[in-house]
Structure 1
């Protein structure tokens, strides 16, 4: 099958299993300008499935770097209403959203971190309505990737650009199951396998998780009453199934906001705002980061943690076995969508309300009373290793081994 045929197959998968387009739906595509061919393929597939309208927002990292380097922080902090409404209004009207993640991990290297932080914060605040509806599953959304030259070259620096692109295409098609005879059926089966893990975790209703490995992670995470484990296929609040991430190997829930204590050490680089944060550790007390260090990107990590007061608290707990397609590839992708699905991870910032029973119907105040973290950011970082052990403590104080040697223990 030619690359063009595989691209069409991938676009169809994104539309059918990603956002699960229904007749007369609107689809909003967020795409790097380098990925316009794939954006067009998604639009074609969406119309074929009955979409009423397809809207495309293109972004250009090279242009953005020019803007960052030449604009004041005041200018960067001022997001015009038409920009925010181009997302918020569509979310308000129940549109579906597909985002193509294909950024250059080093795109903004050398740009003052204060400017990157100001831009990120302004965007999160301006698009608050859109992000809240997405994280509450009030709209259907999907994040997926195709190669870009800068990204492929970062992953495979020893190869020519053509070779790197070809190799990355091959890996992506494999981990999102596009190379199977029937990708939709393959995803249905994959979701069933994840649901078996989810059912076990929800049946046990753990009060606490204890993480430990030889890198120095020794962390206790309390889970709130009524927490729910999710993963793979999810349901929107209107009852329609979708897959928010392609690929995905994780099951996840939310932590108790003030119930995280101990130290955790990163296992993979974190690409944030066009810069890399690497070899970092975090110390938590009563849920809050009280100390941190990083061999690379410490200034960027500080800006991230200073996004708002709640950025210093966790919003997500995700379990991913080391024996999984992305991890087994042995590749560091420098892209959170892929790296987070190769290792257990946490997320700074906002929690998913859908991970709490009745959470999608709660106000911010009600969520806060239930110890659910709320922030303008949600940033995943990887902590999984091949010697990670996770023990769950039940309400009856029974200990259950959940992970042993980096993999599921049940």
Structure 2
């Protein structure tokens, strides 16, 4: 990626996403492959008069650590991380994974205790600090997207530099409508699902916490989910990609889970009680992201999509569910993916990926580009 584009991206992260000010402390964490952008972030932070701190991540080393993790060991690490997050004002996390299956051989029990012990410190910064997460272009990510590295670099810049201020304004009517809504119904091939979002806040995501971005999220009332939802995109978790995932709920609880690896997916949902309840419901609107690539930071923002999330609820839209997992699963409702409808209180608000109501049409792709 050219230096000028990296500088533009760094300025977006520093000024729009975390709104870094002079004398503030920013933790910049990134994979070793992301050093070109990390250098731009350090230089940009200094230009703002802020204090940057760097941590480099190496997945190969981390895989060796994961294989032997014990609770006592992780608790020490979690305490360190919490102190670190308490000491900074903002966090910028630049992922640059070359192989998303790097951790697929780690036993599920090690993943479980990682989530159990480390999630409290992670959710501390998610809920109490300004933060942003970005995926850096790598050969592995370009391959997942089915593109050459140079083409993927161009694509990433396009999706990351959408007019987020315009998007944020267009999202406000959807946020207000969601906060007035009680009953939601989702209908698609293999999907007929109902739940309530009454009394749960809706949150606009327009470039502050994720780059790329483009979603409005809330959470179902915990015991209100009934019916079946079938996902038409790959669902990746802990280094394993699941396909043809179908989940059935009764009074909020997941009672039947199917996939191409049914036994393994049910092991994940057996992590704890909260793993069988939903912590998030969101609608994706980024006009530049159209096809799934197996990377959730992109896939959950696909225009004409929604995602439904077993596990932990976010504090901003909290339905009380607690879990060591938070697994976003994406359903695309555009015609080429089988179509579908979203109803709020029995009124059709989106059909085949396009918003119907006049106040929401500003979120359709032609309006946001």
- With the shorter chain as reference, the TM-score category is 0.7 to 0.9
Is 1:407 equivalent to 2:369 in the alignment? no
Between the aligned partners of 2:19 and 2:80, the Cα distance in structure 1 is: 22
Q: TM-score, normalised by structure 2?
A: 0.87
Which residue does the alignment assign to 2:10? 11
Give the Å deviation of 1:90.
2.5
Give the Å deviation of 1:76.
4.9
Is 1:381 equivalent to 2:329 in the alignment? yes
How many residues are paired up? Answer: 351
Give the Å deviation of 1:37.
1.8
Give the Å deviation of 1:258.
0.8
Which residue does the alignment assign to 2:158? 174
Moved more, 124-133 or 274-283: 124-133
Give the Å deviation of 1:94.
4.8
| CA offsets 1:112-131 (integer angstroms, 9 cap, x no match) | 5xx1x333333333333333
Kept in 2: contact 1:255–1:372 (CA 8 A): no
Of 287, 291, 300, which aligns to 1:340? Answer: 300
| CA offsets 1:373-397 (integer angstroms, 9 cap, x no match) | 122222211023221201111xxxx
Alignment of 1:221-370 (within 5 A): 221-224=195-198, 226-233=199-206, 243-295=208-260, 297-321=261-285, 324-327=287-290, 330=291, 332-342=292-302, 343-355=305-317
Between the aligned partners of 2:118 and 2:42, the Cα distance in structure 1 is: 23
Alignment of 1:143-182 (within 5 A): 143-156=133-146, 164-177=148-161
Kept in 2: contact 1:254–1:351 (CA 8 A): yes
In angstroms, what is the RMSD of aligned CA positions?
Answer: 2.3
Which residue does the alignment assign to 2:361? none
Instruction: Give the secondary-structure state (helix, strand or coil) at the position aligned to 1:111.
Output: coil
Summarize the Cα distance change of 1:134–1:227 in structure 2 as closer, same or farther, 3 Å threshold: same
Is 1:129 equivalent to 2:120 in the alignment? yes
Kept in 1: contact 2:74–2:114 (CA 8 A): no
Instruction: Give the secondary-structure state (helix, strand or coil) at the position aligned to 1:150.
Output: helix
Between the aligned partners of 2:96 and 2:231, the Cα distance in structure 1 is: 22
Kept in 2: contact 1:78–1:122 (CA 8 A): no
Between the aligned partners of 2:263 and 2:32, the Cα distance in structure 1 is: 29
Of 384, 390, 407, which aligns to 2:342? Answer: 390
Summarize the Cα distance change of 1:101–1:196 in structure 2 as closer, same or farther, 3 Å threshold: farther
Kept in 2: contact 1:79–1:123 (CA 8 A): no
| CA offsets 1:206-248 (integer angstroms, 9 cap, x no match) | 111000112x011011124x21211125xxxxxxxx7011111
| CA offsets 1:154-201 (integer angstroms, 9 cap, x no match) | 332xx6xxxx211111111001117xxxxxxx3222211222322333
Instruction: Give the secondary-structure state (helix, strand or coil) at the position aligned to 1:402.
Output: strand
Between the aligned partners of 1:16 and 1:335, the Cα distance in structure 2 is: 25
Give the Å deviation of 1:13.
0.6
Of 34, 57, 60, which aligns to 1:59? Answer: 57
Kept in 2: contact 1:106–1:276 (CA 8 A): no
| CA offsets 1:305-341 (integer angstroms, 9 cap, x no match) | 12211011100010124x82101xx3x3211000010
Instruction: Give the secondary-structure state (helix, strand or coil) at the position aligned to 2:214.
Output: coil
Kept in 2: contact 1:262–1:283 (CA 8 A): yes
Instruction: Give the secondary-structure state (helix, strand or coil) at the position aligned to 1:279.
Output: coil
Q: TM-score, normalised by structure 1?
A: 0.79
Give the Å deviation of 1:135.
4.0
Between the aligned partners of 1:95 and 1:130, the Cα distance in structure 2 is: 15
Summarize the Cα distance change of 1:110–1:315 in structure 2 as closer, same or farther, 3 Å threshold: closer
